[in-house]
Amino acid sequence: MAQAQSLNKTLAEFQAKRALTMPADKLKINVDQRRLLVDTADRSAFVKAGDTVQPFKLTEVDAGPLSLAGLVKNGPLVLIFFRFASCPACNIALPHYNQYLAPKLRRLGATLVGVSPQVPEKLRDIKDRHQLGFQIATDADNSLGRRFGILYSFDEPSRRLSAESGSPIGEVTGTGTWELPMPTAIVIDRSSTVRFADVSPDWLVRTEPADIIAAVQAITARAAA
């Protein structure tokens, strides 16, 4: 497998290029919203290592219902929360995970699921576009994201810009709300215990594959011992 460039370096390069062409007023709204989230996020509410995960259900865009019990039956579970199918940063992050994370997790016996509140008929687009080799699932009504404490709502300038675009985010996702999950990576072992959790209030910062792989390797090493 080719050596991966840092995912966050790739995202930073993307934003630097976009900043050269994005209208100044829209760029300011984007930057200000991300900075506000970093400054005000309630980190005490974030999912954390050691938490016990209660049963949940998701809907995979092709396979249908998924349950926590089924997902951890044969090994660790990795959940990658992302915003929605047309999110530019998500269209960088998920293919990166497909190339540099998913194959290693398969060899370790772990299951990888990308999770968004977007409804299945809209969410399927990102899986098909990038031919993702892992499951992509809907978290209906943001119920799991809310339980994990990782949701945010658009601020007023972002709501206004979204509405002016003609496609408010609630229509884009099919949820009818202004809520989205912060990018989050969670590793859950077979006992439904969180062993690793990384939440990023800034959606242009994502968990590197190596950190997720190390967390899964720690679980498999304990199991082997």
- Summarised one tens digit per residue, pLDDT across range 16-51 is 999 999 999 999 999 999 999 999 999 999 999 999
CATH number for position 76: 3.40.30.10
Residue 169 CB partners (closer than 8 Å, separation 6+): 84, 154, 162, 178, 180
Q: How many domains does the chain have?
A: 1
Strand residues in the chain grouped as ranges (E): 57-60, 64-67, 77-81, 111-116, 135-138, 151-153, 179-181, 184-188, 194-199
| Residue range(s) defining the domain that contains residue 38 | 7-224
Is there a domain that residue 1 lies in?
no
Is there a domain that residue 2 lies in?
no
Residue 218 has pLDDT above 90, yes or no: yes
Residue 3 has pLDDT above 80, yes or no: no
Residue 1 has pLDDT above 50, yes or no: no
